Structure 1
Amino acid sequence: MTDPTLSSLSSALADVVARAAPSIVSVHSHRSRSTGFVWKQGLIVTADEALADEGEVEIGLADGRSVTATIAGRDHTTDIALLRADTGIAAVKLSATVPALGTLSVVVATNRDAPSATLGMVSTSGKSWRSLRGGDIDARIELDVRLRSSQEGGLALDAGGEAFGMAVLGPRRVLVIPTATIERVAAQLETRGRIARGYLGLGLQPVRLDDGVAAMVMNVDKAGPAAAAGIRQGDVIVAVNDQKLSGVRALVRTLGPATVGTVVDVAVRRGGEPVSFKVTVGERPEA
């Protein structure tokens, strides 16, 4: 005898997948095959880590066709890449909702160029965090689900069919890059092709003083903001905006997109004497 509850749940999940599948594409690059979804007409979001550093990118469509894509921009710190391709496919509607812990989740993706789906559960649902590469992620969402590499970049949906982000492969778990992060980063990639990062123009080395951690200036970009403000090689930075330094990495991570153009107070010790500089944060040059 068929359990009507299970049958109803099964039908509902199948309907969720069927509604999302038309906006899902496969992404072929020199390195691998992965998944993407149509974010806007002619624009596809996918996982940056799955893309090769060079070479052509092709988009595989559900009807068997393939089209060439160009990279509009990519941000390795948030694992988001934006591709331009004329697919003729409607964009998916993303939801800003962050799913609750224990919510059922379906990842709709591609596997061997065919639509695929896998069911799991939201195992972590928490506050914003910073990736190991320094990207600001608006919510910590982890899924208890297994994904093949070709499914990376797929859409994470709740049981009601709301798409709350992109599923990516973390070091030991499946993570979701939430909608808020996708919308923020992809919009900048669409218009600028890159994410602006703050830049002081300093090479720093951590040092320990009697009253805490500091950063010694090992080299200075002569054309950079710090040089223009008067900071020199050998200076020891002890605070920024009256906040004591907690480390070199912490300082670099504070230089996000919003800091470009702002003025920061940098307190240093030069020859043991305190000196203060006002530095206008520049934009980090492209590597």
Structure 2
Amino acid sequence: MTEPTTLASLSSALSETIARAAPAVVSVHSHRLRASGFVWKAGLIVTADEALADDGEIEIQFADGSRKQATVVGRDHTTDIALLRFDGNIQPVALTNGVPALGSLAAVVAADRGAPTARLGMVSLSGAAWRSLRGGEIDARIELDVRLRHSQQGGLALNASGEVFGMAVLGPRRVLTIPAATIARVAGQLEKSGRIARGYLGVGLQPIRLDDGIGAMAMNVDKDGPSAAAGIRQGDVIVAVNGEKLSGVRALLRSLGPQSVGSVVDVTVHRGGEPLQFKVTIGERPET
């Protein structure tokens, strides 16, 4: 009997690895959009928020062709994670917090109209935690050298050992992975409260140029918000936070992540050309 070649052994191992993960992967259909998702906990599916329609009914399709309706538990556009609830008993997938090494093999297991699909590539970037363009805290920068269709967003990213290290999504000109640690943190908060808390200053800001840098003028102030409570008024120009010069309004807003709620910051403003100091307790952004 002929011994299997190295390539044949690799092919067999990959096939078995993908087959173990496939039962937890589903198709997610929402208002003409198709994506993939996976069973995170009993009755709960994680999918890519970017690939989910803003409204309308959501249908889940399984590998056996059966379909079920799903409802949105919560969404976080800053980390591209959405959590759905369905009535079913599919075995959840186990995620690992390990970050794959640069150059290691990676497979994406997704679904198309319920049928499992697979892509093979490699980890083209494996780096430290980063902040998305929308201000979300992502626990590791993992990029995959693999082609991904829109319907495969929300699929599982597996390492060569078959461990699931995250969810594959389409980023700008590259395929990104939302790591397992980020999924556990964000999906856990969505399951608990249906939303992700965001910091709130209670002030509408407009960037302006100053002689020595950039400022942010308070165009309107929420009378019940944290800034008003601290004494900041309409027309004040924020020039520094915690002693650091303002680098821009966008950077300031990005700093108001979930961890900022309840913290106290020293805000320096110019009022009538005079510098003033205020201590602002960051609140939680209202849902509206």
TM-score (norm 2): 0.97
Whole-Å separation in 1 of the counterparts to 2:161 and 2:34: 28
Displacement of 1:223 in angstroms is 1.8
Kept after mapping to 2: 8 A contact 1:33/1:150: yes
The alignment partner of 2:185 has SS state of helix
The alignment partner of 2:36 has SS state of strand
Whole-Å separation in 2 of the counterparts to 1:168 and 1:189: 19
* Residue identity opposite 2:147 in structure 1: R
Whole-Å separation in 2 of the counterparts to 1:141 and 1:31: 29
Alignment of 1:17 onto 2:18: yes
The alignment partner of 1:217 has SS state of strand
Match for residue 49 of structure 2? 48
Whole-Å separation in 2 of the counterparts to 1:245 and 1:59: 46
The C-alpha deviation readout for 1:219-244, integer Å capped at 9, x for no partner, is 11122111111101111111111122
Kept after mapping to 2: 8 A contact 1:31/1:51: no
The alignment partner of 1:134 has SS state of coil
Match for residue 197 of structure 1? 198
Match for residue 176 of structure 2? 175
Q: How many percent identity over aligned positions?
A: 73
Gaps of 5+ in 2: none
Match for residue 135 of structure 1? 136
Kept after mapping to 2: 8 A contact 1:31/1:50: no
Kept after mapping to 1: 8 A contact 2:37/2:47: yes
Kept after mapping to 1: 8 A contact 2:135/2:255: no
Aligned length: 287
Displacement of 1:3 in angstroms is 6.0
The alignment partner of 2:74 has SS state of strand
Displacement of 1:128 in angstroms is 1.1
Whole-Å separation in 2 of the counterparts to 1:73 and 1:114: 26
TM-score (norm 1): 0.97
The C-alpha deviation readout for 1:8-38, integer Å capped at 9, x for no partner, is 1001100100110111111111131111001
Match for residue 265 of structure 1? 266
The C-alpha deviation readout for 1:254-273, integer Å capped at 9, x for no partner, is 11101111111111111111
* Residue identity opposite 1:94 in structure 2: L
Kept after mapping to 2: 8 A contact 1:205/1:216: yes
Displacement of 1:2 in angstroms is 7.7
RMSD of equivalent CA atoms: 1.2
Whole-Å separation in 2 of the counterparts to 1:182 and 1:218: 36
Stretches of 4+ moved more than 4 A in 1?
Answer: none
Match for residue 33 of structure 1? 34
Alignment of 1:285 onto 2:286: yes
Match for residue 68 of structure 1? 69
The C-alpha deviation readout for 1:183-232, integer Å capped at 9, x for no partner, is 11000000010100000011111222222222111111122111111101
Match for residue 82 of structure 2? 81
Whole-Å separation in 1 of the counterparts to 2:253 and 2:153: 29
